[in-house]
Structure 1
Amino acid sequence: MKKGKRRLIGFTLAAILLVLTACNNNGGKETQPSATSSETASQTGESKKPAQDGKYDPPITLTTVRTVESTVKFADGDSMENNVWTRAYEEEYGIKVKTLWAVDVSQWEQKLNLTIASGDIPDFFRVSATQFKQLAEAGMLADLTDAYNEHASDRVKSLLTEEGTGAIESATIDGKLMAIPFTNPSREGVPMVYIRADWLKALNLPEPKTMEDLLKISEAFATQDPDKNGKPDTYGLAIDKDFTLMNGFFNSFHAYPGILIKDGEGKLTSGLIQPEMKTALATLQKMFKGKQIDPEFGAKDITKVFETVANGKVGIMFYPYYGPLYPMQAGVDKDPTVDWKAFPIMSIDDKPAKSQTALGVLGYWVVKKEVKHPEAVVKMLNFWDKTFYENLSTEVHEKFNTSPDGGNQVWLLNNIAAYKAFKNSDASLQIIDALKTGDTSKLNPENKGVYERVQKFKEGDLTNWGWGRIFDDGGSMSVSNYYRDNDLYVNDEFTTSPLESMVQKGPVLTKLQMEAFTKIILGHSSPDEFDNFAKQWLELGGKEMLADANEWYLKKK
């Protein structure tokens, strides 16, 4: 991932940290180009054809809309419509990109919904799963089947299917590819469990091997004053009010909220309402009564919990591999004695613990039905793959990816992208090998930059602690590779855009879940209340949702 001065390999952390950035280059204001609709490829009467080298002559113009990225700094004279990426599209393929508007990410969804509602959509743009479904049902999207089959490079096809066929399937309607999935490394980003290693040492506790071991450590962290300040002010487990941090905990009990799994008959059912979830909630209630959980967790979102982590008040957290950079580095910056270590999630019994993984798709790149050359969008995706993944020379890296000082994320100016499933995993293996041998000749510029940060940490520079705890041998990426090597995943079996019943019933069921789970953990309800919750969940829309999902699943087979 890359993130300004905290540049990391991939996307997920950058997406999270962008939310925390205070401002952006354009202050969230829209940029309005001077292009007229008559210039666009979709409304040009003449069907322009690319020359033999794949370049359109004369050039074609495609319109789009997008977000303004706060971590991008335009070079002198550059703009959203005139930058290294847009110039490259034109030079390479004869494709001009006109940005109709660009807004801050906080305004994106509302602005895009208004654009879609108006019926006047750009030639290509990124949408959510729900928006994709709406546009497809309205007959507003181009069929990309031929464009993809004939023009996508083998590397791009491999990129979009690295985690399996689910991403492509989710963009396919009635056998036609109606969008390009914006793939994201879901398996690489599954939770692991982080433990305060310095607290283990302070209390003379061994590293855990089972979930029972972890629960004992949680109790010790809450009751034995691990920070040695003489106050009962530490907690075992980090929990937020929305249970964002809890999937890894639930997975340790073989419970899988938020995804559909197969039941004993091979049908789809919700992982949320299985008996294993009841056992996990009963355990959380016991932990809460034992003061292992912040009594105010029900009022704290994930940002507030991260403050607790940074302030050194909690010792166990389930989180993806990038946790050492955020939020844990902040704690190390405050107190250099702080140290966290990542472990694979642990099982409550003799069955292996597996992490749930959702469909690895951030959204969908769609093309308006009237566009005469939908393959142009596929060509731009080929270019993304060439510059971001294939050609990793220092020159290309600094031109299209990240500035030499790491402070300018030029790569975010791309107009279409897709992310590899295991980019960071692969990079970590190369970096670990280089750390052991001292041979950096096989590292590309990006990985070499990470290698140098890890080396600085190993030499005592704690400002790079997070990089060391991710990419050094035994770091969080080593845990991610352990999951990968042993296929320790439970996949979401639902791999298409949300069904109508899910869109309608989902918010009510989510609210029901939050209220029921919170009451059980706080002790306001018995764990047996979970049975009533599961019944209500089915009655208030879950049964309808599962019926629709199984109807889709049968057709898929």
Structure 2
Amino acid sequence: MEKGKRWIVGLLACMVVLSACSKENDEKDANSTKDKTNAEQSTATPSIAASKTDLYKMAEPVNTSFILRVNPDLKLPQGDTMDNNLFTRYISEQTNINFKLQWYASNTDYEQKAKLAIASNDLPDAIIVDEKQFRAMAEGGQIEDLTDVYNKYASDEVKKYYDSTKGRALKQATFNKKLMALPNIVPQADAYVLTWLRKDWLDKLGLPEPKTLEDVEKITEAFIKRDPDGNGKADTVGITGNNSTITQWYGHDFRAIFNVYNSHPGIWYKDSSDKVVYGSTTPEAKQALVKAREFYAKGLYDKEFATRKDPNELVVSGQTGLFFQAWWEPFSLGDAIKRDPKADWKAYAITGVNSKYNVSMVATSSSFLVVKKGNKQPEALMKYLNFVTRFFKSPTANDLKIDHVQYVSILPLTLNIDYEDTATKKHDMLVQANEGKLSPDQLTPEMKGHYERWQRVLASSGKPDPADWSAPYAYLYGIGAFPKEEAQNKVYPAYTGTTPTMDKKWSNLQKLEDETFFNIVLGKKPIEAFDQFVSDWKNQGGEQITKEIEAELQK
């Protein structure tokens, strides 16, 4: 089945926003004051040589080679190159690190060249890799141990972001009890699956807001049967589905139903007995499939979801009023709002059978900055990360004089670290500004922009520009729907890398899972087919993969 693409636009837009906001002036707190003062003093007295304890600047100039993924359409100001431009010169001035470009490529060419460089050990001094590559390089002795480097040279600002993950990020970058990489931090807001519905339809039919899956069932049935759009036609469709997957993270899927049963398909996690399990093979997953099958049989799901290329077309046309999606869905609702400005979309978190809001968390880290084995000054990369984090999140007066946008796409090494709950912090900031508790000048540049957009929405007489509406609405009403921390049951992945057997057999195992789950939901196979699936999954490689993961977790 062809993967629909349109609903992924929201994800991509959100990723751009999160990436951009990670490169903005973030909240400042007392922990970063010492670092910032240190940096400003260094800038104010350039004639004084940097000391060995300076967390931002090497005592002597250091050349550091790197490789770069570039956009084929990249255009730079005249006279600038990818390793000699306004920003790299400022980096050199501030850190004494001179980045030297070893090679560059775009898209798939970059991936192929990077894999070849790793395989042949023809590495630059530092490189950003994925988790599979990181673990292979650590296993092969290709990279430096950064344990002492981090402990001695990481700034308080960098440490506070890593500390926000409660040790998970650094643990993911640890191999044989040594910190072998500096990991990124993935915003955890994307893990939450919300129920998005037409609140105006809900009010018209006199229905209460949903709190449980049973409420969702009643609302969906009412939307289908009671003509909420008032056009006199029985043309309202039920919950949208995804023609590519039942449980994988593409949006408009069935994960919300699985989470209700404390089922966490598609991830490896530790169960209550501390045993590693694959979430798609548990008894809870079977319970969720029973309910999903029941919903479809009752006509509560779009009958054509398995063949419909784009579920978002039902949203835009006004034919559906309920679906499951992430907090950033408003980025995909622009056309729907333009067509019907009175459509009042609201998001809700649904409690599970265990009276908790169950969440399948995403990997804490997905990218890793590693330093080539034999590098004599690995602390240079730690100081670079200190600097670039300060530059984008708590810039000094001198930092602010440098264009924060022009050269972002060609940073020598891009590693996004932030609070793992950064989206929630930004929601709180925007709410406080709307309530007058923060002035616009107290906001970060990104959130100040969203605040100004929201003011234009409020002044639009009910006909907002979708370009103004989407981002602030996502933060206010998407993130705003998250349940309180104490009401959540967060299940974190125990392992997000790959194993030898996974490399060989995972595509077949995924196909087995997708086909079985689709056939059960569509009623083409009985629910007992799940038990056969679990047995086949184990015999065809799943059991061996589980053993390999357990072994990896011991390293």
- Give distance in 2, aligned partners of 1:79 and 1:292: 57
- Give distance in 1, aligned partners of 2:257 and 2:417: 27
Aligned CA distance change for structure 1 residues 479 and 445 (closer, same or farther; 3 Å) = same
Partner of 2:132: 130
- Give distance in 1, aligned partners of 2:341 and 2:19: 23
- Give distance in 2, aligned partners of 1:101 and 1:229: 61
- CA deviation string 1:490-548 (max 9, x = no partner): 23251464333333333222111111111111111112211111222222222222233
Partner of 2:529: 529
Aligned CA distance change for structure 1 residues 315 and 84 (closer, same or farther; 3 Å) = farther
Please list every run of 5 or more consecutive structure 2 residues that lacks an aligned counterpart in the other structure. Answer: 1-9, 21-48
Partner of 1:470: 474
* Cα displacement (A) at 1:193: 1.9
- Give distance in 1, aligned partners of 2:505 and 2:268: 15
Aligned CA distance change for structure 1 residues 307 and 363 (closer, same or farther; 3 Å) = farther
Among candidates 309, 316, 321, match of residue 315 of structure 2: 309
* Aligned partner letter, 1:492: Y
* Aligned partner letter, 1:373: Q
Partner of 1:369: 373
Among candidates 242, 245, 248, match of residue 245 of structure 2: 242
**SS of the residue 2:94 aligns to:** helix
**Counterpart contact for 2:268–2:279, Cα < 8 Å:** yes
**SS of the residue 2:306 aligns to:** helix
- Give distance in 2, aligned partners of 1:342 and 1:507: 34
Partner of 1:263: 271
* Cα displacement (A) at 1:267: 1.7
Q: What is the identity percentage for the equivalent residue pairs of Structure 1 and Structure 2?
A: 30
Aligned CA distance change for structure 1 residues 191 and 108 (closer, same or farther; 3 Å) = farther
1:49-448 paired onto structure 2 within 5 Å: 52=52, 55-56=57-58, 59-69=61-71, 74-105=76-107, 107-187=109-189, 189-240=191-242, 241-243=244-246, 244=249, 245=251, 246-299=254-307, 304-325=310-331, 327-347=332-352, 349=353, 351-391=355-395, 396=399, 399-402=402-405, 410=408, 413=411, 415-420=413-418, 421-437=420-436, 439-440=438-439, 441-448=441-448
**SS of the residue 1:90 aligns to:** helix
| Structure 1, 225-234 or 336-345: larger mean CA deviation | 225-234
Aligned CA distance change for structure 1 residues 455 and 517 (closer, same or farther; 3 Å) = same
1:10-25 paired onto structure 2 within 5 Å: 13-14=15-16
- Give distance in 1, aligned partners of 2:217 and 2:547: 38
* Aligned partner letter, 2:322: I
- Give distance in 2, aligned partners of 1:106 and 1:17: 21
**SS of the residue 1:236 aligns to:** coil
* Cα displacement (A) at 1:12: 5.1
* Cα displacement (A) at 1:468: 3.8
CA RMSD in angstroms comes to 3.1
Aligned CA distance change for structure 1 residues 358 and 501 (closer, same or farther; 3 Å) = farther
- CA deviation string 1:102-156 (max 9, x = no partner): 3444554334223333432222121111111222222211222222221111221
**Counterpart contact for 1:399–1:410, Cα < 8 Å:** no
- CA deviation string 1:455-498 (max 9, x = no partner): 211222342222342233xx112223x34x32614232514643
Displaced runs of 4 or more, over 6 A: 15-18, 70-73
**Counterpart contact for 1:218–1:236, Cα < 8 Å:** yes
The normalised TM-score by structure 1 is 0.81
Partner of 2:25: none
Aligned CA distance change for structure 1 residues 218 and 507 (closer, same or farther; 3 Å) = same
* Aligned partner letter, 1:514: D
Aligned CA distance change for structure 1 residues 422 and 11 (closer, same or farther; 3 Å) = farther
* Cα displacement (A) at 1:225: 3.7
* Aligned partner letter, 1:340: W
- Give distance in 2, aligned partners of 1:300 and 1:63: 48
Partner of 1:21: none
**Counterpart contact for 1:167–1:495, Cα < 8 Å:** no
The normalised TM-score by structure 2 is 0.82
- Give distance in 1, aligned partners of 2:196 and 2:238: 11
**Counterpart contact for 1:179–1:364, Cα < 8 Å:** yes
Q: How many residue pairs were aligned?
A: 503
Aligned CA distance change for structure 1 residues 492 and 430 (closer, same or farther; 3 Å) = closer
- Give distance in 2, aligned partners of 1:84 and 1:429: 35
Partner of 1:455: 455
**Counterpart contact for 1:247–1:356, Cα < 8 Å:** no
**SS of the residue 2:435 aligns to:** helix
Q: Which structure has more RCO (C-alpha within 8 Å, separation ≥ 6)?
A: 2
- Give distance in 1, aligned partners of 2:407 and 2:203: 39
- Give distance in 2, aligned partners of 1:524 and 1:206: 35
**Counterpart contact for 1:166–1:359, Cα < 8 Å:** no
* Cα displacement (A) at 1:432: 0.9
**Counterpart contact for 1:142–1:369, Cα < 8 Å:** yes
- Give distance in 2, aligned partners of 1:194 and 1:182: 30
**Counterpart contact for 2:88–2:98, Cα < 8 Å:** yes
- Give distance in 2, aligned partners of 1:131 and 1:308: 41
